[in-house]
Structure 1
Amino acid sequence: MRLVTFTSIKITLVFLLGILCSYLFDFGLYYLHISISIVFLLLFFVWIRARNQLFPDLHFGFISYVCLFLLGAWVYQIHQPKYHSSHYTKHITESDTTILQLKIREELKPDLYNTKYIAKITGISDKEVSGNILLLISKDSNTISLKVDEVLLVKTHFSQIPTPKNPYQFDYASHMHQKGIYHQIRLDKESILLITKGKTTIRGTSAKIRNAINQKLKENNLEGNSLALVNALLLGQRQELSQEVYTNFASAGVVHILAVSGLHVGILMLLLRVLFKPLERLPRGNTIKIVAIVLFLWMFACITGLSPSVLRAVTMFSFLAYALESNRETGTINTLVASAFVLLLVNPNLLFHVGFQMSYLAVFAIVWIQPKLAKLYKPRNYFDKLLWGILTVTIAAQIGVGPLSVYYFNHFPGLFFITNLVILPFLGIVLGGGIFIIILASFNSLPELFTKIYTTILESLVQFISWVAKQDTYYFENLVLSRGQLFLYYVVITAVILCFQKISFNRILYLLFSVVCLQGIYIFEKSQNNYKELVIFHKSRNTIVGLKDDKQLKVLSSLDPAEAHREKFLKNYRVKAKIKTFESGSLKNIFSFNGKTIVVVDSQGVYPRGSISIDLLILSNSPPLHLERLIDSLCPKIIVADGSNYTTYVQRWRKTSKKRNIDFYYTGKEGAFVIR
């Protein structure tokens, strides 16, 4: 099977390339409209010419691909708020307090300090607007509890979603931008003027159904981790999961099962195929079976709250349900790619979602690679066949998502095959049994024995995951892949699979060339990492300076060595910067690095006297000083205030620096300061 012969793959790849280029370069909607009009006109004339020819017309094919490319670019651009006159970003000033009308769309998982919601903005003062926003309510305001579909009238102001303050930190603002959310607001009891019940939506109805299900489960003594897992695995809600359980699942390499996505929907689809198999005996039984499966999948999506991951998975498996009934591998791949095309046509931002990328890579790898692996061994009995099937599916999926997982998460679970040999059959039992338990509980017909058995199964699952998570020897972390390395890994994997499928001179040459390119980019990037760098990190109430020299990092701060080693943003920096040697020490008032003289002035306000010239002045812990006198004495080229200073001091220092024409940098606003 040659993938490049699949028309659906060619069409989707060109369309995808248009989205990607439009993301990287702003073509402008006006110029895209002109280009699309011209190209579609050309396509019409070339089509008239091509239909009267015996052989395929190369011009028609080329212009068709240009149309698809421009279509991808156009679809991405029209989803940007700057091209929507009603979007709220056209009607706001961030610093001004204003009256907003909001409707709660979704409750997110809370963080340590806030409960979080996605809200739809329907009005600003007397203007009708559109768009979604991140709503934060401090956990101190514990009397405020909002429900999906409630409408709020609030008085507040917009603020930017915070960007990362240190190198290589997770960019939550970028993550939310990909979901079409560009600002956040904070609410307390005083800022909420009115709360009313809004028009019921599908999401609101599904939230009520989930609440009713939870209440019934609690009445039947399902609680603790068991109830949290049912909510995560079947209802798409992870708010009640403990941090310990989540961490164990992540370390075992099965954190993906805690979010309802492709794996859950795929297992549900297989269960439904078995359940509805008797329908095949009816006239047009296959058609009735497919319709029934798709309807039940979308009912499941509605109950789980129509989250993006569920919508993506249900759309994909709705297409695949039809393809699997045709029993053709080519039909499955074409249908899989077609579902991706439809999803990207509706929401091109999905291309940049990690879940979208991993879901499609996993399913594509299973469809393409698993049949080839399955032929390597002939199972002797049903149990043997079951284990071999699970193992080949797991290996194929890991081949598909392994490099991408390392790129995003910097770790790889070595015991993934053992975990999945246990988890996949277990998950089918958990999902099927969970649905059965929910149905019985909803009708007040759940025997206590069933609850105990199901709770035991869930607790056994948690204990097994906990045991796997403790096997540190087989958990590979601090792995790093660049974008270039990621791309070439997939090129090498493709070449290996093609050679495995059929050995030929061209394929061996392709494999060798791709391996050489991968080695080349490793050597090149290793040479590019040999540099010296000073980083003044941002951390509230602390001063932390990092000195990088090739693959060595020395951290100067008031933190003890153990605390510095545990600090998350320092760990991220060590991993991404490929640091091999790490040490910590105390911060001196004056030191040099890479030929530059650095002076630190702390809360004691002590600094070198006399007329000297320094390259960098670091202000730490709000020193009581007269900045103009210090500037006259030290003549600094750059002044940096870190996160340990009072903001009132920082504002005063910024004005003084501007007056004296000296560059001023505050890590609390501009992020970590880096010089090489």
Structure 2
Amino acid sequence: MLKEEYFFVRILAALIPGIVFFYLVSGDHMISVLGTVYFLLYLTICLLNIFYKKLNAYRFKGYTGLLIYLLFFFLGGLLTFMNKEELKPDYFTKKTVDYLKVMVNSEPVFSKGILRLKVKIISGYLENKPVKLSGQILLSIKTDSFKPLKLRYGDELFILAKYSAVEPPYNPGEFNFKQWLAIQNIYEQAFINQNQFIKTGRNTGNPMLRFAINWREQQVIKYRKYIKNDEAFAVASTLILGYRADLSAETLSAYAKTGTIHALSVSGSHVAIIFFALDFLLVFLDKQKALKIFKFMLICTLIWIYALITGLSPSVVRAAIMITIFIIAKTFAQNKNSYNILAFAAFCQLIYQPFLIWDPGFQLSYLSVFGLLYLQPKIYNWIYLENTWLNKIWELTALSIAAQLATFPLCVYYFHQFPVYFLLGNLFISLPLMIIMVLGIVILLPFSGKLTPLFEWIIVTTNQVLKWIAGLPYATFSSWWITLPGLILLSLSLAFFVYAMAKYNKTFLFAAMLTFIIYQSVLSYDRYKAARQQKIIFFTLRKNYAAAFIQGYQAILLTDLNHDDQTFHFSVKPALDQLQVSHISIMHLKTDTIISNFIFQNQQIIFHGYKILIIDESWNNKKVQAAGKFNAIWLTGNTTFKIENLPEEIQYENIILDATNKDYKIERFKKNEYNYKARLQILKKNPAYLVQSTE
């Protein structure tokens, strides 16, 4: 096959490393340097083409190719810096203002009394004089239950110019919320009460996006009117409209454990279902070129109408763009190489928004489609079946295996689990998903409400079957943590193996086995370290306390959290999962405990020779009766006891303040830090305190 057929694949191979490299290398003045380098490369390539014959440039084809690669590599860097808002001269943190004029730039999300929304800064005001500003903020508004707050996309607000940087993850394994917002160009956040902003009454948002969001709200109201079962309503709204309704934890877990969680995210698969359904229904238009063009325009129009119904959510827009480009290329382009078309779609999206390269949805979408293009035909050809229905079942099975294989390493890296029964789950949900998608859209049409009972029954039955599959023994490998080197090794091993099986190449098969052995060796070494580990983690929380005493695969967790608490699952459990802890004993500081090498008695903890003295509210107005040498004293419960009153017989190396202590007390310790003969460990807005070895 000619190299020209892979033109966009080749330039994408240069553009992506450029985006990644220059995203990690920041600098205010690099954009001018990059611009100069890019211009010189572009000028050189143009001159080589103009004077191609005079210079006999064919002799330097290799160097010309290298120049083209460099051109797109630096283009990636240039796009990165041009899209990084914090580097702009008028970025709002670089100027001092009293007030900010902002526009609601996303659909507000309400949860537990807090309304969260992304706002775009229009301008600032200093002493009532306007100041040109740019940037975005994540705004959290504490709402009043007696006075419901109604904000929509495009609403214009005035808020105080009080904000802070988005906090990084403080505990090991914790979700990096700061990084997730950074790829959306948001680096600051603000917290206000409901009475601390002024709504101007103007709506300055994009009219098309505002129309799409309002239209989706109307469709959600229709679903709420027709569908009586709350769980069916939540699934229908999420699956078809992309409206994040309150799905129960049980249902979410069932979809995750069966490998069908993708069905709940309106994305490429949903748009693909609509495309294939329309392509099948309009197949009679393929007979003439004029009718084929009409078919293309009709399908594109209907796909974008569906995107409008979903509120033009980013994942749907991404999928719609990808499929639109795919249809255009298939309809008009002479070069119908699917990989080149897929690369062209990715190229167009990255030119517009280079930070998409960090988006897991973007990565998984393109990997999944690549798996369908490359792997599915090869897997399907493994078995030949004459029976039509068995052949269809095998075709769907091959489809599921291909998509799962292509995305397997990345799914494990991001979600730390692998569904064992993904074949059964995906094979089962394939047909119901198509019916749910078609019926769900039909019900939104006038005079189609009579189909609602059937629609609701299909969703409820689908959920019940998926819950049954999720309840089967060994339904999922959970808490599977791999590092970035592990991801690279696993991906290489899988890629080598797939290519070796496709081309019957022994060299690549050997490379796959060798890479997998290296990967398994790394895993074995990690398991060996985990089996011998002895460490203590004092977690950084907002209002609670938690300390894990880890020995091998077991941990004793002293905390005032329950295992059902969101804080436990968000801030504590990921760290224990990452350390391969399989058994957690949850206890609190009110009960004395003696287990193996862990002793908690008389306000003292001894763990493999590491001694901790606990000072809590029980010490208030009491005489100290402890003595000895401690590795740390742990202040908790906002005790009024003053550390200065400790007798000289008590010696200590560290002072640990957890988040149960009030802010004013923590500030007092910070101011007097130099007066203490110990290191101060504050477990609030600081990294967790880790004692690596207790011996």
- TM-score normalised by length of structure 2: 0.87
Q: Letter of the aligned partner of 1:59 in structure 2?
A: Y
Quick one: structure 1 residues 504 and 571, their matched pair in 2 at CA, closer, same or farther if it must change by over 3 Å?
A: same
SS at match of 1:670: coil
Give unpaired runs (5+ residues) of structure 2. 588-592, 594-599
Q: What is aligned with 2:38?
A: 36
Moved more, 568-577 or 630-639: 630-639
Distance 1:327 1:283 in 2: 13
| Identity over aligned pairs, percent | 22
Q: Does 1:642 align with 2:658?
A: yes
Q: Does 1:68 align with 2:72?
A: yes
Distance 1:187 1:568 in 2: 24
Distance 2:7 2:630 in 1: 64
Q: What is aligned with 2:120?
A: 120
Q: What is aligned with 1:198?
A: 203
Distance 2:418 2:107 in 1: 31
Distance 2:282 2:25 in 1: 49
Q: What is aligned with 1:253?
A: 259
8 Å contact 2:175–2:570 — kept in the other structure?
no
SS at match of 1:23: helix
1:373-452 equivalences under 5 Å are 373-440=379-446, 445-448=447-450, 450-452=451-453
1:22-421 equivalences under 5 Å are 22-26=22-26, 28-47=30-49, 52-54=56-58, 57-91=61-95, 98-125=98-125, 126-141=130-145, 142-155=147-160, 157-199=162-204, 201-220=207-226, 224-323=230-329, 331-421=337-427
SS at match of 1:245: helix
Instruction: Report the CA distance between 1:466 and its aligned residue.
Output: 2.5
Q: Letter of the aligned partner of 1:456 in structure 2?
A: W
Distance 1:80 1:512 in 2: 41
Q: What is aligned with 2:556?
A: 554
SS at match of 2:10: helix
Distance 1:631 1:286 in 2: 90
SS at match of 1:260: coil
Quick one: structure 1 residues 509 and 194, their matched pair in 2 at CA, closer, same or farther if it must change by over 3 Å?
A: closer
Distance 1:227 1:103 in 2: 31
Q: What is aligned with 1:570?
A: 572
Instruction: Report the CA distance between 1:235 and its aligned residue.
Output: 1.6
Distance 1:565 1:175 in 2: 19
Instruction: Report the CA distance between 1:572 and its aligned residue.
Output: 1.5
Quick one: structure 1 residues 446 and 591, their matched pair in 2 at CA, closer, same or farther if it must change by over 3 Å?
A: closer
Q: What is aligned with 1:602?
A: 616
Instruction: Report the CA distance between 1:632 and its aligned residue.
Output: 6.1
Quick one: structure 1 residues 651 and 228, their matched pair in 2 at CA, closer, same or farther if it must change by over 3 Å?
A: same
Quick one: structure 1 residues 253 and 194, their matched pair in 2 at CA, closer, same or farther if it must change by over 3 Å?
A: same
Instruction: Report the CA distance between 1:396 and its aligned residue.
Output: 0.3
Distance 1:308 1:607 in 2: 62
1:457-476 equivalences under 5 Å are 457-476=458-477
SS at match of 1:124: strand
Deviations 1:114-159 (A, max 9, x none): 2322222212222232323222233544511212222223346223
Distance 1:36 1:561 in 2: 54
8 Å contact 1:413–1:476 — kept in the other structure?
yes
Moved more, 115-124 or 255-264: 115-124
Instruction: Report the CA distance between 1:206 and its aligned residue.
Output: 1.0
Distance 1:513 1:309 in 2: 37
Distance 1:198 1:132 in 2: 17
Instruction: Report the CA distance between 1:531 and its aligned residue.
Output: 4.5
- TM-score normalised by length of structure 1: 0.90
Moved more, 117-126 or 411-420: 117-126
Instruction: Report the CA distance between 1:77 and its aligned residue.
Output: 1.8
Q: What is aligned with 1:667?
A: 683
8 Å contact 1:614–1:634 — kept in the other structure?
yes
Q: Letter of the aligned partner of 1:487 in structure 2?
A: I
SS at match of 1:110: strand
8 Å contact 1:488–1:518 — kept in the other structure?
yes
Distance 1:55 1:508 in 2: 37
Deviations 1:407-427 (A, max 9, x none): 111111112111211212211
Quick one: structure 1 residues 243 and 229, their matched pair in 2 at CA, closer, same or farther if it must change by over 3 Å?
A: same
Instruction: Report the CA distance between 1:326 and its aligned residue.
Output: 8.2
Instruction: Report the CA distance between 1:516 and its aligned residue.
Output: 3.4
Moved more, 387-396 or 485-494: 485-494
Distance 1:13 1:63 in 2: 14
RMSD of equivalent CA atoms: 3.2
Distance 1:636 1:311 in 2: 59
8 Å contact 2:117–2:138 — kept in the other structure?
yes
Instruction: Report the CA distance between 1:112 and its aligned residue.
Output: 3.1
User: What is the aligned length?
Assistant: 667
8 Å contact 1:222–1:451 — kept in the other structure?
no
Q: Letter of the aligned partner of 2:656 in structure 1?
A: V
Q: What is aligned with 1:7?
A: 7
Give unpaired runs (5+ residues) of structure 1. none
Quick one: structure 1 residues 281 and 560, their matched pair in 2 at CA, closer, same or farther if it must change by over 3 Å?
A: closer
Distance 2:564 2:209 in 1: 46
Quick one: structure 1 residues 610 and 340, their matched pair in 2 at CA, closer, same or farther if it must change by over 3 Å?
A: same
Deviations 1:287-334 (A, max 9, x none): 332232223222222231222211211111112224555899961111
Q: What is aligned with 2:590?
A: none
Instruction: Report the CA distance between 1:610 and its aligned residue.
Output: 8.7
SS at match of 1:623: coil
8 Å contact 1:600–1:607 — kept in the other structure?
no
Quick one: structure 1 residues 631 and 502, their matched pair in 2 at CA, closer, same or farther if it must change by over 3 Å?
A: farther
SS at match of 1:340: helix
Distance 1:407 1:3 in 2: 33
Quick one: structure 1 residues 190 and 326, their matched pair in 2 at CA, closer, same or farther if it must change by over 3 Å?
A: closer
SS at match of 1:439: coil
Distance 1:295 1:101 in 2: 36
Deviations 1:187-214 (A, max 9, x none): 4332122341414621211122122223
